[in-house]
Amino acid sequence: MYNIQLGKSGLSVPTVAVGCMRIADMSEKQISAFIETALQNNANFFDHADIYGGGKCEEVFGNAIKTLNREDIIIQTKCGIRKGLFDFSYEHIIESVEGSLRRLNTDYIDVLLLHRPDTLVEPDEVARAFDELKSSGKVRHFGVSNQTPYQIELLKKSLNMPICANQLQLSIMHTPIIDSGINLNMYNDASVNHDSGVLDYCRLNDITIQPWSPVQYGFFEGCFIDNEKFPELNKTMQKIAEKYSVNKNTIAFAWLLRHPAKMQPVTGTTNTERLNDYLKAADITLTREEWYEIYLAAGNKLP
């Protein structure tokens, strides 16, 4: 596992983040094995959100890390989603962080992301909350998720610290942030710019993209690996996987890591064997030819 810089934060992080969205119902033994597998692979960056498992994911994780040195792990969590609405108000951000700190059994959060855009956002309120959390030592770095360049620019107008990360949906089977750039000035569907050029914007502004659902297609419709709906893609991935003596899970992550944006994909599994597969991707560098071969096998076309 190699490390990258998380945006302009100055924080060195492993290039694969360990997602904890599905750990709520795991036993203590399973969670300990899950965390141990990650740490054995030098993957010490764990991604949470206050809504995952209704807060239980943070709680069971906090119980599991009591015996660990807090400085040896990096915790990222997210706030801003309430039932039926998004809320970036000062009061909600502060309340959410206090809850996460309590559940995670920690005095500080390394990275806090705003979870999806709140169209009623008041950037000055966000800045007030961030300033208070930063000065108190409760949060060290800040980022966003699923936000467009102009939404980030609106926040930056008031913020006194950099946005270090933007968590975006991206996988071999979900590539709109890549497609629109390749198909610029075309009339086909792939040319539609859904996100104001967020990929290039993040690269230009040193904001680390954290791909979520990296082995999923659609909006949580399922995994594309070994899925009969995608025979050509799986055939191509299998061929390339055999070349590197790994499996298709590893190739799915290697495909993301090959992009020069220096992304930090977030795993979504609770299976330790599969987690091992994903983390192995850091040891593989696909060729340009292999990257495009996989892209085309996913059903994409080059103009």
* 10-38 tens-digit pLDDT: 999 999 999 999 999 999 999 999 999 99
Provide the whole-model pTM: 0.97
Active site residue 295: no
In a domain, 8, yes or no: yes
Contact partners, residue 72, CB within 8 Å, separation at least 6: 39, 44
If we measure between CA atoms, which residue out of 142, 147, 138, 140 comes closest to residue 163?
142
Check residue 22 and give its pLDDT: 96
Q: In the predicted model, what is the mean pLDDT of residues 128-147?
A: 98
Contact partners, residue 38, CB within 8 Å, separation at least 6: 18, 44, 46, 275, 279
Distance CA 171, CA 214 (A): 4
Distance CA 147, CA 170 (A): 13
In a domain, 189, yes or no: yes
Check residue 142 and give its pLDDT: 98
- CATH number, domain at 173? 3.20.20.100
Domain count for the chain = 1
In a domain, 128, yes or no: yes
Compute how many other C-beta atoms are within 10 angstroms of the C-beta atom of residue 73: 19
- Report pLDDT digits (tens) over 156-191: 999 999 999 999 999 999 999 999 999 999 999 999
Is the pLDDT at 220 greater than 90? The verdict is no
In which domain, by residue range, is 37 found? 3-219+258-267
Distance CA 57, CA 46 (A): 11
Mean pLDDT of the chain: 97
The answer to whether 108 and 141 have CB atoms below 8 angstroms apart is no
In a domain, 172, yes or no: yes
Q: In the predicted model, what is the mean pLDDT of residues 86-114?
A: 98
- Report pLDDT digits (tens) over 249-299: 999 999 999 999 999 999 999 999 999 999 999 999 999 999 999 999 999
In a domain, 249, yes or no: no
Compute how many other C-beta atoms are within 10 angstroms of the C-beta atom of residue 299: 12
Q: In the predicted model, what is the mean pLDDT of residues 71-91?
A: 97
pLDDT tier at 122 (50, 70, 90 boundaries)?
very high
In a domain, 238, yes or no: no
Sort residue 137 into left (φ over 0), alpha (ψ -120 to 50) or beta: left
In a domain, 115, yes or no: yes
Is the pLDDT at 219 greater than 90? The verdict is no
- What percent of the chain stands above pLDDT 90? 99
Q: In the predicted model, what is the mean pLDDT of residues 81-104?
A: 98
- Joined together, the tokens standing for residue 63 give 């119980």
In a domain, 246, yes or no: no
Helix (H, G, I), strand (E, B) or coil at 220: coil
Active-site residue, selected from the candidate residues 2, 52, 150, 201: 52
Q: In the predicted model, what is the mean pLDDT of residues 240-254?
A: 98
